[in-house]
Amino acid sequence: MAINRTPVLKRCRALGIEPMVLGISKKSKREPKVSRRKISEYGLQLREKQKAKFIYGEMEKQFRNYFKKATKMQGISGENLLFLLETRLDNVVFRLGFARTRKEARQIVNHRLVNVNGKRINIPSYRLTPGDVVEVNSKASESELFKNITSLTETLLVPQWLSSDIPNLKGSVTTLPSRDDIDIPVNETLIVEHYSKML
């Protein structure tokens, strides 16, 4: 699997993303370089795709598969793409406050520390639907790791489409997210335009 070893703050700076979007409280002291060259239409579309991939931690092949799936769903393709990414298990674990970053949430799921409807799931891309209950398994919830995490995330603002009980490390999906519930700084329309030229 390909690994991008570029420092996170450097990538945030290059893509124009605030580190807090990723759950990182650090800030870069460097100012982004102002380019005098005008960015082409293709460049703008590519940057939006790279932003979405970086925020959700997706590689190109998987991201493209999500886009293909989004185009087959009813509704607006760009919004469908964001809905598919938002309802991934690792993203929901992050949104509920059980992890400080999406990367940490993915690791928690991979290590089989999360149950969905009482069943242990270790697939970060597992798609959740309304009514699903997500909780950290009882043995892991007593660990020092989760005590440290919850001390930092207890004041986190949980999206309206989720219900979270951080002290008990339990939450649920109450409804599907609307576009207004997804607060990532990405213009999904540009992503659709980018892929429409390629696929």
Encode pLDDT of 148-173 as tens digits: 888 877 777 889 999 998 888 999 99
Query: For residues 27 and 63, what is the distance between their CA atoms, to the nearest angstrom?
Result: 27
Q: Residue 108 pLDDT > 80, yes or no?
A: yes
Confidence label for 140 from pLDDT (cuts 50, 70 and 90): confident
Q: Residue 19 pLDDT > 80, yes or no?
A: no
Rounded to two decimals, what is the model's pTM?
A: 0.87
- Cβ partners under 8 Å of residue 144, min gap 6: none
Give the pLDDT score at 1.
Answer: 45
Domains of the chain: 8-28+39-75+185-198 (1.10.1050.10), 88-176 (3.10.290.10)
Give the residue, 150 or 182, on which the prediction is more confident: 182
Kindly report the average pLDDT of the chain as a whole number.
87
Give the residue, 176 or 138, on which the prediction is more confident: 176
- Cβ partners under 8 Å of residue 138, min gap 6: none
Confidence label for 4 from pLDDT (cuts 50, 70 and 90): low
Beta carbons of 89 and 134 less than 8 angstroms apart: yes
User: Among 48-52, 104-108, 139-143, 185-189, which is the least confidently predicted range?
Assistant: 139-143
Give the residue, 10 or 27, on which the prediction is more confident: 10
- Cβ partners under 8 Å of residue 163, min gap 6: 171, 172, 174
Mean pLDDT (whole number) for 103-112:
94
Query: For residues 117 and 119, what is the distance between their CA atoms, to the nearest angstrom?
Result: 6
User: Among 17-21, 58-62, 71-75, 189-193, which is the least confidently predicted range?
Assistant: 17-21
Give the pLDDT score at 119.
Answer: 95
Q: Residue 27 pLDDT > 80, yes or no?
A: no
Mean pLDDT (whole number) for 10-33:
71
Give the pLDDT score at 15.
Answer: 81
Q: What percent of the chain is helix, strand and coil (3-state, nearest 5)?
A: 50, 10, 40
Give the pLDDT score at 83.
Answer: 96
Mean pLDDT (whole number) for 61-88:
95
